[in-house]
Structure 1
Amino acid sequence: MTKLLAELIFLKILGWEIKGDIPKTTKKCVIAIAPHTSNWDFFIGIIVRPIKNLRSSFLVKKELYKFPPLGWLLTYMGGIPVDRGRNSSNLMDQVLRIFKEREVMRLAITPEGTRSKVSEWKTGFYRIAMATNVPIVPCSFDFKNRVVHFMEEFHPTGNMEEEVAYIRSKFVGVPGKFPELGVD
């Protein structure tokens, strides 16, 4: 989708606004997107990419790439096939290799890990940022006010429990598509 078409649809017709940015000098980061309450979140993320001229990626289970048209489309949109198997260290190894191989790697992750209500976030986004020595960019999708907000970069120091709670606090009260499933 071209930037002009995305701006016309998202900003003008649908009435959304985009606040903040990822600094141009930040070639590698983890984008922590929340609240994740709907499949619409994916489409919001996809349409924001050309508007912000943002080269970003997301992880997709490799099984979806067995269907060539879908695999090509996912790759075009920033998808990276990974083997999500039972061994989480294998997935982490795959992600670390991808960060090492690419000059630009902005990985979008939903820390909730599901569209359902959760009491605790998964910590993979934080562990990836620590292991690759990259910042975390919190990004919220506020459906009530129609605002995508890229917040200030956060550089993790290793105090995972405290820092994940701090990042999570930035999303409290942000209404997702289904606010009752959002971050408390």
Structure 2
Amino acid sequence: MLRLIAKFWLSLWGWKVVGEKPTIDKCVIIFAPHTSNWDVLILLLVKWYSGLQPTFIGKHTLFWPPLGWFFRAIGGEPVNRSKAENVVDQIVAKFNEKQHMHFALSPEGTRSKKDHWKTGFYRVAVKAGVPIQLVYLDTTTKEVGFGPILEPCGDMQRDFEWLAEFYRDKKGFRPELLSDIRANSEKSTDVKTQ
């Protein structure tokens, strides 16, 4: 039923879904560009349309009653940012606990323009030993696409250059808010597996 609802709204608004959803058991899914709240609505429709069941993280207090059940039902996993254990390690632990996990996030971390992407998604992928599935939204073609899969090599700078090349021509709802696709210079060192 949700697939039909999603198909109806995507068609009505002129959007199409291209590419194949991931068939691998575990991966990090990144979505870019993220420049508007409309992105979330379009992605929710794509989730329903494709049948993909991604996991996302949220502040642990969101999962308390009365709404905790809702966030879990749509794929949410709580993380506690106040603990000494960092968020990357918490997500890697979740990958290690599960047989199947598609962890989704926007690498920009915000809808505002920034001079770099956050690097947590990359660190999670390397430490968990999982690939990165690229997903994009492009308002010029009205496409949401499942792009290529990146097997991160641990050289963050090199892999971010590859990501920048792929996402270079993708435009969000508010192109003036596109973030630069490069790693934070303070964190752009090689990443090692655990």
Query: TM (normalized to structure 1)?
Result: 0.90
Normalized per residue, which structure has more helix?
1
Residue in structure 2 matched with residue 75 of structure 1 by the alignment:
72
Counterpart residue number, 2:16: 17
Shift of 1:166: 1.4
The residue type paired with residue 9 of structure 1 is: W
Equivalent residue letter for 2:94: I
Give the Å deviation of 1:73: 1.8
Q: Which runs of 4+ in 1 moved over 3 A?
A: none
The root-mean-square deviation of aligned C-alpha atoms, in Å, is 1.7
Give the whole-Å Cα distance in 1 for the aligned partners of 2:135 and 2:145. Answer: 5
Deviations 1:48-95 (A, max 9, x none): 112111121111111222342x322221211111112375x5212210
CA distance in 2, matches of 1:29, 1:22: 11
Relative to structure 1, the CA distance from residue 72 to residue 156 in structure 2 (aligned partners, 3 Å threshold; closer, same or farther) is same
User: Which consecutive residues of structure 2, in runs of 5 or more, have no partner in the other structure?
Assistant: 181-194
Deviation of 1:125 (Å): 0.7
Q: What is the CA distance between 1:165 and its match in structure 2?
A: 2.4
Q: Residue 6 of structure 1 corresponds to which residue in structure 2?
A: 6
Q: Does the residue aligned with 1:139 lie in a helix, a strand or coil?
A: strand
Counterparts in 2 of 1:86-97, with a 5 A limit? 87=84, 89-97=85-93
Q: Does residue 1:134 correspond to 2:130, yes or no?
A: yes
SS in 2 for 1:170: helix
- The number of residues matched between the two structures is 180
Shift of 1:143: 2.4
Shift of 1:33: 0.7
Residue 152 of structure 1 deviates from its aligned partner by 1.0
Q: TM-score, normalised by structure 2?
A: 0.85
Following the alignment from structure 2 to structure 1, what is the Cα–Cα distance between the partners of residues 45 and 68?
Answer: 18
- What are the equivalent positions in structure 2 for 1:1-184 lying under 5 Å apart? 2-10=2-10, 12-24=11-23, 26-68=24-66, 70-85=67-82, 87=84, 89-184=85-180
